[in-house]
Amino acid sequence: PADPSENGSAEDSSKTLPKGVVIGKDGKPCRSCTSFAQWAAQAKSSLKAKTDSPITATQKTTTVSDVGTLPADCPPDVERLGNSTWTLLHTIAATYPEKPTGMQKDDLRGFMATFSRLYPCWVCAEDFQDYMKKDKLKVEGRKEFGNWLCEAHNEVNRKLGKKEFDCSKWEERWRTGWKD
């Protein structure tokens, strides 16, 4: 579905959007900050409101469970973006040297600092920047960075009510493959 705010002003949309649709810094709905289900439910509801006669008792309103899954060739929602990004970050950790040079450490510091500012989901980015202030990035070697990243990912998992990952297994998940 297209941007639910595209036929209305940013101000209008911020008043009418349901819980779960995050507003971007431009005042419009932020697609990469919002789950597809919430986004699509909102887009369908807006369309229905514009095209339908008033809803009758037998008509069903759109709910987040009605909307299916995000098609592969659509802009990413917060979940697809997140999943793809964790894949990149953990794979960077998996290929980071055990004994990095000074330049490699600088590169990692620079990359993570820039990443935390440019991440497209701004609410995620702000929380991640706070996390990086609280728990300083570790660049001394693969194990240190891999564990740091695993803990950072677990912080997000906790925030979202997801299961925590056992960080003693991060290398099996992202580098060597499972032992059994």
Helices (H), the chain: 10-16, 36-51, 78-95, 102-118, 122-134, 142-159, 170-171
Question: Which lies closer to ligand FAD via its Cβ, residue 44 or residue 80?
Answer: 80
By beta-carbon proximity to ligand FAD, the closer residue of 13 and 116 is 116
Select 76 or 141, whichever has its Cβ closest to ligand FAD: 76
Residue 139: DSSP 8-state? -
What is the smallest separation between the CB atom of 104 and ligand FAD, expressed in angstroms? Answer: 21
The answer to whether 108 touches 139, Cβ cutoff 8 Å, is: yes
Question: In the complex, what is the shortest distance from the CB of residue 123 to ligand FAD, in angstroms, rounded to a whole number?
Answer: 6
Pick between residue 7 and residue 84 the one whose CB is nearest to ligand FAD. Answer: 84
CA 46 and chain centroid, separation: 24
Q: Tell whether the torsion through CA atoms of 139, 143, 145 and 147 is positive or negative.
A: negative
**Are the beta carbons of 55 and 45 closer than 8 angstroms?**
no
Nearest in space to 168 (alpha carbons), one of 142, 146, 137: 146
Residue nearest to ligand FAD (CB): 82
Closest contact distance (angstroms) between CB of 3 and ligand FAD is 19
What's the residue count for the chain?
A: 180
When the beta carbons of 48 and 117 are compared against ligand FAD, the nearer one is: 117
CB of 169 to ligand FAD, least distance (A): 8
- Copy the structure tokens of residue 109: 């510091």
**Min dist. Cβ of residue 150 to ligand FAD (A):** 4
The binding site for ligand FAD (CB under 6 A) comprises 78-79, 82-83, 85-86, 90, 119, 123-124, 127-128, 150, 153-154, 156-157, 160, 165, 170, 173
